[in-house]
Structure 1
Amino acid sequence: MLTINAGQLGISLGGHPRLQQVSFQLHEGELLALLGHNGAGKSTLIKLLLGLYQPDKGTLEVLGDKPGRQPLSVGYLPENVSFYPQMQVAELLQYFASLKGVSAGRVKQLLSEFGLAHCARQPLQVCSKGERQRLGLAQALLSRPQLLLLDEPTVGLDPLASAFMYEALEALRSQGCSIVVCTHELALVEPVLDQVLLLSQGRIAASGTLAQLQQQADLPWRIKLPANGAQWWQDSVLQPWLQQQTLQFPPSLLPQLSQRLMQHWHCVDYQLQPPDLAQLFRYFLAGRSGPAALKEAV
């Protein structure tokens, strides 16, 4: 089931193009990493998905309808969470629950699940950044949305709070919630993403699964060889790509080199290291290709 279906989206704001020819699909239970430099159009796209902006060109469906038509089915956590500082944590969550027609039982459940029970009677002005972010995510989930839109959900959080946030997202995805995460925390989102949409100046620089982007990029792959005493450097097939205990090679050579390791050296315990998300981010935004990209040990 499609959660988002976007085709050739375009929008101009203040006479300046902000998005051009942006197309993608998001299915139920998938997590999309929305990436790009500041000003690339990420927040504009999120506002289109919320129905706050209307596209000038193209088509956009969210949960089978026009964006904004099913507000209780879409949860949203903005980059800068701004709540009433004098309100208590539980009081504020109950306020949003009343606006959404959600029971007090759901409020109590979320306070417990997000580790906020201990500060439920505490004014927000004395809460930590992590507690406010957890509260922001809790309010976004009050109505059990089918789609969750997150704009930099871990900005300013310590590692433990960030890890908690992504553990919560993993649990939501397993329940069928579709998630769009706009983030610069590439190492955090990489293990949990299903798709990547990388924007540059309002256009798609790259899109697809992580494996698809790794195949598209002309970046070196690596194989970390075991330190078992084998004389790898004497192998004429491996030697051109060998740097100490690591093979560094173009992706087209992976079948040949892996076959050589297994059949000639009987080696099956090597570590394959394809380009990670941070390397792909730099590659596609810089427009690097060909031998120059291969030589650079990113």
Structure 2
Amino acid sequence: MQTINASGLSLCLGGQPRLQQLSLQLHSGELLALLGHNGAGKSTLIKLLLGLYQPDSGSLTVLGDKPGRQPLQVGYLPENVSFYPQMQLGELLQYFADLKGINRRRVKQLLVDFGLEHCARQALSVCSKGERQRLGLAQALLSQPALLLLDEPTVGLDPLASAFMYQTLQTLRSQGCSIVVCTHELALVEPVLDQLLILDHGRVAACGTLPALQQQAQLPWRIQLPAGRAWHTDPLLAPWLCEQQLLFPVSLLPQISQRLTQHWHCIDYRLQSPDLGQLFRHFLADTTSELTLAEAV
């Protein structure tokens, strides 16, 4: 099932273009990483998906309908969660459940699932950032939505809380929930994403799967070599040798792998493809930090 279908979306606010000719398709059970610098248009896109903004041109459907038509099927966690500080955590979750017409048994289930039973009677003002963020995600999941929109869900969280957040997202994805995560935490989202969308001043800088964008970018792959061997004497490897690493185009991977294993009998090398951080810098044309093949060799 297609949960998001956007074609040629454009939007201006205050006379300034916020999104320009954006197209995107997301299906059930897929996780989209929404990336870009501040002001790139990420939050604007989320507001379009929620039906809070209307595009100036182009078409957009969410769950096969106009955005905002199925509010209980879309969960949302904003970047800055604002709750009533004097209410108890469990009381607040029940309040949201009542607003959405959700049975309170669902509240008890989520308190258990998110490890919030111990603080359910605590006022929000004394709860930790991690507890409040778990509450925010729990309220977004009250109605068991088909689409979940998260704006910087791990900002300010410690590593354990961040790991819990992404473990939860993996579980939801396996259950068929589509997820859009707007984040600057590239290392956290990389292992779980199905697609990535990189925005730059409202324009699509890159969109697709990680392997497809790695192929498109043509950034060098790396092999970390074990020490103690005369790698520089090999005519195939020497042109790509940089200290104790090989930096080479992916087209040479079969030849280099064969050379290492059959000629050098080396199987303890470590292969690394271009990571999400490198792709992010490449597609945003950050020439001051981008590692190109020419620079690498």
Show the counterpart of 1:62: 62
Show the counterpart of 1:286: 285
CA distance in 2, matches of 1:259, 1:212: 24
CA distance in 1, matches of 2:186, 2:168: 17
CA distance in 1, matches of 2:242, 2:201: 37
CA distance in 2, matches of 1:76, 1:253: 44
The structural deviation recorded for 1:215 is 1.1
Q: Helix, strand or coil: the match of 1:253?
A: helix
Please give the per-residue CA displacement for 1:60-110, whole angstroms capped at 9, x wherever unaligned: 111111111110000000000001111100100000001111111100010
CA distance in 1, matches of 2:157, 2:11: 32
- Is 2:19–2:202's contact at 8 Å kept on the other side of the alignment? yes
Structure 1 residues 292 and 244: CA distance shift in structure 2, 3 A: closer
Show the counterpart of 2:233: 234
Show the counterpart of 2:261: 262
The structural deviation recorded for 1:268 is 4.0
- Is 2:152–2:181's contact at 8 Å kept on the other side of the alignment? yes
Show the counterpart of 1:19: 19
CA distance in 1, matches of 2:128, 2:24: 36
Show the counterpart of 1:220: 220
Show the counterpart of 2:41: 41
- Is 2:36–2:198's contact at 8 Å kept on the other side of the alignment? yes
Q: Which amino acid in 1 is paired with 2:237?
A: L
Q: What are the equivalent positions in structure 2 for 1:202-217 lying under 5 Å apart?
A: 202-217=202-217
Q: Which amino acid in 2 is paired with 1:147?
A: L
CA distance in 1, matches of 2:291, 2:124: 51
- Is 2:12–2:18's contact at 8 Å kept on the other side of the alignment? yes
The structural deviation recorded for 1:296 is 4.0
Q: Which blocks of at least 5 consecutive residues in structure 2 are unaligned?
A: none
Q: Helix, strand or coil: the match of 2:23?
A: strand
CA distance in 1, matches of 2:77, 2:134: 10
Q: What are the equivalent positions in structure 2 for 1:122-201 lying under 5 Å apart?
A: 122-201=122-201
Q: Which amino acid in 1 is paired with 2:235?
A: S
CA distance in 2, matches of 1:269, 1:214: 24
1:116 has 2:120 as partner: no
Structure 1 residues 115 and 97: CA distance shift in structure 2, 3 A: same
Q: Which amino acid in 1 is paired with 2:202?
A: G
Show the counterpart of 2:243: 244
Please give the per-residue CA displacement for 1:149-186, whole angstroms capped at 9, x wherever unaligned: 00000011111111111111111111110000000000
The structural deviation recorded for 1:256 is 2.7
Show the counterpart of 2:275: 276
- With 32-41 and 124-133 compared, the bigger mean Cα shift is at 124-133
1:53 has 2:59 as partner: no
Identity %: 77
What is the TM-score normalised by the length of structure 1? 0.95
Show the counterpart of 1:95: 95
Q: Which blocks of at least 5 consecutive residues in structure 1 are unaligned?
A: none
Structure 1 residues 296 and 111: CA distance shift in structure 2, 3 A: farther
The structural deviation recorded for 1:230 is 4.2
Structure 1 residues 268 and 206: CA distance shift in structure 2, 3 A: same
CA distance in 2, matches of 1:273, 1:224: 8
Q: Which amino acid in 1 is paired with 2:159?
A: P
- Is 2:222–2:245's contact at 8 Å kept on the other side of the alignment? yes
Q: Which amino acid in 2 is paired with 1:235?
A: D
The structural deviation recorded for 1:264 is 2.8
The structural deviation recorded for 1:235 is 0.8
Q: Helix, strand or coil: the match of 2:257?
A: helix
* Cα-Cα RMSD: 1.7
Q: Helix, strand or coil: the match of 1:204?
A: strand
Aligned residues: 295
The structural deviation recorded for 1:233 is 2.0
- Is 2:219–2:291's contact at 8 Å kept on the other side of the alignment? no
Structure 1 residues 230 and 256: CA distance shift in structure 2, 3 A: same
Q: Helix, strand or coil: the match of 1:191?
A: helix
